[in-house]
Structure 1
Amino acid sequence: MFHKEGTQSILLATIFTAIVLLLTDNFIDTNWIKMTIQLATLLFLIIILQFFRNPKRIAILNENHIIAPVDGKVVVIEEVFESEYFKDKRLQISIFMSPINVHVTRYPLSGLVKFSKYHPGKFLVAWHPKASEENERTTIVVENKTFGAVLYRQIAGALAKRIVNYAQEGMQVIQGTDAGFIKFGSRVDLFLPLGTQVNVVLNQKAIGGKTIIATK
């Protein structure tokens, strides 16, 4: 199963692969050169298909859980000052996504979307300390009765040139459902209320829609 955001890329990659295979079969006589080009082209198509995969995951809904919004590695767990929306201290948990991870973003909790804003910006590497404030990004705040307001931020990386965000202010969203997509390596930051019980550790692998990040 592939994500709808990959439809155009997959179609173009398939057409490109077919053309290259046809041309090499008809115009290149040296077998090792032909095979090298064809294998490289097929590998390119496989990478595109792999990047836009969208595994079906059904989240177990729980208002007392914050679940991972994306697949990746937990790279930050710290108390910080969140300056855009809350303007106070929050518990930040960041998940870094490499190009080989699933890049679907999922809602970490059910609730009402209180805030959704896109910010143009730079394309620093996703693990750069200033990426959260200077890179192209979207900021989304979802509120429920258990946690109050929870902010998550999709952040573009050095390779990520497009962030897709489906959250709009006033929407009621369901935990674990499709919230968007980030093309190529990137990061998602969660900002939780102080005192939230963290259920992950640094360098732990998180699975979007499955891993319980925090509890109340």
Structure 2
Amino acid sequence: MAGELLDNKGRGDAAWQWPAIHPEGRKIGLIATAISLVFLLIFDWELIGWPLLALSAGVFAFFRDPERVVPQGDNCIVSPADGLVSMIAEVEPPAELQGDDGTGMLGLPPGPVIRISIFMSVFDVHINRAPIGGVVRRLVYMPGKFMSADLDKASEENERQHILMERGDGVAIGFTQIAGLVARRIVPFVKPGDMVAVGQRVGLIRFGSRVDVYLPAGTDAKVMVGQKMIAGETVLAEVGKQQLLEGIAH
């Protein structure tokens, strides 16, 4: 009926449900489960089998892929990752996201901008989502180290993947997927030229990592250090809006 409030799938009633498991993790989880069952049912080695079975459940949980309700707003920049805001700093964007990449397509302009760093533990959902809707203009993979992702220098020294997106009005956002101590693979779901919607899945990082978001010039963060983010739902900032935030942890 007109005016009826619906859930994120267009139904009248909302209910909790088990989150889907992303295909990237199903094979790993099934292999781990099969190995644990071999130890339990064939060799009867419970000391090994039960811990492996618990690890299998953990693998499935790690690759969970819940649905998200994306905020509707022309200037909203949403979080690309689940996790904790570990740093907010004014920095120069990475060189890989600036200038001409050889195709004639310009990247982010030089000059300091606000960078929001979101740390993902192994308990967070690791599916990353687009902070804005638009065209993927650039995707640059950089090999590197596997230091703790919560260190500031991880932005420049760890294995990482830069993604540059541009809205229809020319506003560009850059963000970087950064591997951590345990993470050993960054998996992209998109490529340059793809058109994606805000909150759409764009990739994942296996096992504990970080995502840096570079806000447009003249835009301040609407979140604070220590705040919990939900990918595709939490609004990080509004394009062109500047404000001073203060908060108290409880």
Q: TM-score, normalised by structure 2?
A: 0.78
Q: Deviations over 1:110-161 (max 9, x none)?
A: 0111111111111111012211111111100111156711001000001100
Mapped contact 2:70–2:232 kept (Cα < 8 A): yes
Correspondence for 2:147: 124
More strand by share: 1
Q: Which has the higher helix share?
A: 1
Residue correspondence of structure 1 range 41-60 to structure 2 within 5 A: 41-60=52-71
1:102 equivalent to 2:125? Answer yes
Identity %: 40
Summarize deviations over 1:97-118 as a string: whole Å, max 9, x none: 0011100011111011111111
Instruction: Select 1:89's aligned residue among 99, 112, 121.
Output: 112
Counterpart for residue 178 of structure 1: 201
State the alpha-carbon separation in 2 of the partners of residues 21 and 209 from structure 1: 40
Partner of 1:67: 78
What do you get for the CA RMSD once the two structures are aligned? 1.6
Structure 1 runs (4+) deviating above 4 angstroms are: none
The 8 Å contact of residues 68 and 206 in structure 1, kept in 2 or not, is answered as: yes
Instruction: Give the distance between the partners of 2:94 and 2:33, measured in 1 at CA.
Output: 44
Post-superposition shift, 1:169? 1.4
Runs of at least 5 residues in structure 1 that lack an aligned partner in the other structure: 29-33
TM-score (norm 1): 0.90
> Partners of 1:139 and 1:61 in 2: how far apart?
25
Which is worse superposed, 141-150 or 183-192? 141-150
Count of aligned pairs: 208
Higher relative contact order (CA 8 A, sep 6+): 1
Is the counterpart of residue 7 in structure 1 residue 26 in structure 2? yes
Uncovered stretches (5+) of structure 2, i.e. residues with no partner: 1-19, 99-107, 240-250
Alignment partner of 1:17 is 2:40? no
Paired position in structure 2 for 1:31: none
Corresponding position of 1:135 = 158
